[in-house]
């Protein structure tokens, strides 16, 4: 189940990037579960990773390899997270890098590993090693759609986006894929995402641009409030277009906007495919004194099980929204001046239910598949938006049966 119509993506190939996908039998026989991505020599890579202290072995190794070397290849497996696996997990992640490096004639430190799936189970490294040669044999510039399938876990659909921007009569392409459906919350959201561009960009600027885009996309989504051990987002800049971002501030601004919008598409696709989701909910908070208090109010709403279950039931129980704003922790909040809207329907003003509100008007909004909750704190100029889902019976079923 997913919210909204699946839109077919026209993946623009990125010159200097190839992707290969295969079936390694890691968890489910007959499904694509192993992906290799290779970038051309001279490419820049940057990464952002989970804030979970129990981060997975591949996350540890990715961070180390990005600091130690200039990576040119990625190896991604689904079906097993290789998290909570101690020293053995570290060794398995290193083995996957070493084996791919040998096939591609790279140094082991030039490979970044990624895993997603069940936590606490030993990685079937022998299956990954056996599958790598076939994945490499499948490397091609048009492998984005197969790779999008190859990284999924409980997802019901692939998630991809691709855009092009023009500058001085020339074109820069950006293409990306992501996965994620459950264990989704900020810092980072629980997911994997891989984005590539043919722009030329220094490693430092690549990292800065990625940080900015992640903060407005993957760090603004939540499904269930659970932070994963494996969150990773990678940006690859091959330089094949020979348009250099470091030398053109106008191009940097244009590129940054395009990258953020592309990552927002990928992030929102994760929410739309949230486990058991039947509603796509935008929580917009404006009028904050600063970003922090806008996000406090937004996440109080987005994480509330009472609000999320009311959304699933299409029940305009507006008192639950009012309560969440009240306990969000915004200091010295004046509840008599703030307003809350459900879609275009005014719910709350002057500390209580708006005089103009009717249950019928609220019900019309709640019956929709996509819903916006708007809060105006009337304290300043800050504004933030968070995207989330409802909480359904199917969410419980999916996670109760996750290991079966």
Provide the CATH number for the domain around residue 351: 3.10.20.340
101 and 69 share one domain? yes
Q: Is 28 helix (H, G, I), strand (E, B) or coil?
A: coil
**Residue 12, in any domain of the structure:** no
**232-237 and 280-288 strand pairing:** unpaired
Smallest Cα–Cα separation from 2: which of 316, 247, 386, 369? 369
| pLDDT value of residue 404 | 59
Residues with Cβ within 8 Å of 294's Cβ and at least 6 positions away in sequence, in order, are: 285, 286, 288, 377, 382, 383, 384
> Residue 187 — very low, low, confident or very high, per pLDDT cuts 50/70/90?
low
Convert the pLDDT of each residue in 38-48 to its tens digit. Answer: 999 999 999 99
Gyration radius (Cα) of the chain, Å: 22
| pLDDT value of residue 1 | 67
pLDDT at 188 over 80: no
Q: What is the mean pLDDT of residues 62-77?
A: 97
Domain span at residue 357 reads 280-400
Last-in-domain residue among 238, 272, 306 = 272
pLDDT at 62 over 90: yes
**Which of left, alpha, beta for 4 (phi over 0: left; psi -120 to 50: alpha)?**
left
Q: What is the mean pLDDT of residues 222-243?
A: 90
**Residue 50, in any domain of the structure:** yes
Last-in-domain residue among 237, 272, 307 = 272
199: its two tokens: 């722009």
105 and 28 share one domain? yes
224 and 344 share one domain? no
Q: Is the dihedral of CA 241, 245, 249, 253 positive or negative?
A: positive
Task: Assess contact for 238 and 17: CB atoms under 8 A.
Answer: yes
Last-in-domain residue among 223, 246, 272 = 272
Number of domains in the chain: 2
172 and 188 share one domain? yes
Can you list the alpha helix ranges (DSSP code H) found in 105-187? 125-137, 144-150
259 and 310 share one domain? no
Query: Angle at Cα 229 formed by Cα 183 and Cα 210, nearest 5°?
Result: 90
Q: What is the mean pLDDT of residues 262-278?
A: 92
**Residue 11, in any domain of the structure:** no
Per DSSP, the residues of 363-398 read HHHHTSSEEEEEEE--SSSEEEEEEEE---HHHHHH
% of the chain surpassing 90 pLDDT: 84
| pLDDT value of residue 186 | 56
261 and 290 share one domain? no
Q: What is the mean pLDDT of residues 334-347?
A: 98
87 and 207 share one domain? yes
Q: Is the dihedral of CA 94, 97, 99, 101 positive or negative?
A: negative
> From the candidates 190, 206, 222, 278, which is the catalytic residue?
190
132 and 220 share one domain? yes
| pLDDT value of residue 183 | 67
Convert the pLDDT of each residue in 193-215 to its tens digit. Answer: 999 999 999 999 999 999 999 99
> Residue 108 — very low, low, confident or very high, per pLDDT cuts 50/70/90?
very high
Q: Which of 56-70, 121-135, 270-284, 338-352 has the lowest mean pLDDT?
A: 270-284
Cβ count near 214 (within 10 Å): 26
**Residue 235, in any domain of the structure:** yes
Task: Assess contact for 75 and 111: CB atoms under 8 A.
Answer: yes
190 is catalytic: yes
């Amino acid at each position: 189940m997913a919210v909204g119509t699946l839109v077919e993506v026209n993946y623009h190939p990125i010159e200097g990037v190839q992707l290969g996908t295969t079936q390694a039998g890691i968890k489910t026989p007959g499904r694509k579960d192993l992906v290799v991505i290779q970038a051309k020599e001279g490419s820049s890579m940057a990464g952002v990773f989970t804030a979970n202290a129990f981060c997975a072995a591949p996350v540890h190794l990715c961070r180390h390899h990005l600091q130690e070397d200039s990576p040119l290849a990625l190896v991604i497996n689904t079906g097993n997270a290789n998290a909570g696996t101690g020293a053995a997990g570290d060794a398995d992640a290193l083995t996957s890098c070493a084996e791919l490096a040998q096939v591609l004639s790279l140094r082991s430190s030039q490979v970044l590993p990624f895993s997603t799936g069940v936590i606490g189970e030993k990685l079937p490294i022998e299956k990954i090693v056996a599958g790598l040669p076939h994945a490499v044999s499948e490397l091609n510039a048009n492998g984005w759609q197969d790779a999008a399938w190859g990284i999924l876990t409980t997802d019901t659909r692939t998630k991809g986006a691709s855009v092009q921007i023009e500058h001085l009569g020339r074109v820069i392409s950006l293409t990306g894929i992501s996965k994620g459906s459950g264990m989704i919350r900020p810092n980072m959201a629980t997911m994997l995402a891989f984005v590539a561009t043919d722009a030329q960009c220094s490693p430092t600027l690549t990292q800065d641009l990625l940080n900015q885009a992640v903060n407005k996309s993957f760090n603004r989504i939540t499904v269930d409030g659970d932070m994963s051990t494996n969150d990773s987002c990678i940006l690859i800049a091959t330089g094949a277009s020979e348009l250099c971002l470091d030398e053109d501030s106008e191009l940097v601004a244009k590129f940054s906007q395009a990258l953020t919008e592309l990552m927002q598409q990928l992030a929102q696709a994760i929410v739309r495919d949230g486990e058991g989701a039947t509603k796509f909910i935008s929580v917009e908070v404006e009028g904050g004194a600063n970003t922090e208090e806008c996000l406090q109010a937004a996440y109080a709403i987005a994480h509330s099980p009472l609000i999320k279950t009311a959304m699933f039931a299409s029940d305009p129980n507006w008192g639950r929204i009012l309560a969440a704003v009240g306990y969000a922790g915004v200091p010295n909040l004046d509840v008599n001046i703030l307003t809350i809207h459900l879609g275009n329907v005014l719910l709350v003003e002057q500390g209580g239910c708006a005089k103009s509100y009717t249950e019928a008007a609220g019900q019309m909004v709640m019956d929709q598949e996509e819903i916006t909750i708007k809060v105006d704190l009337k304290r300043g100029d800050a504004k933030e938006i968070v995207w989330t889902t409802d909480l359904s019976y199917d969410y419980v079923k999916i996670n109760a049966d996750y290991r079966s």
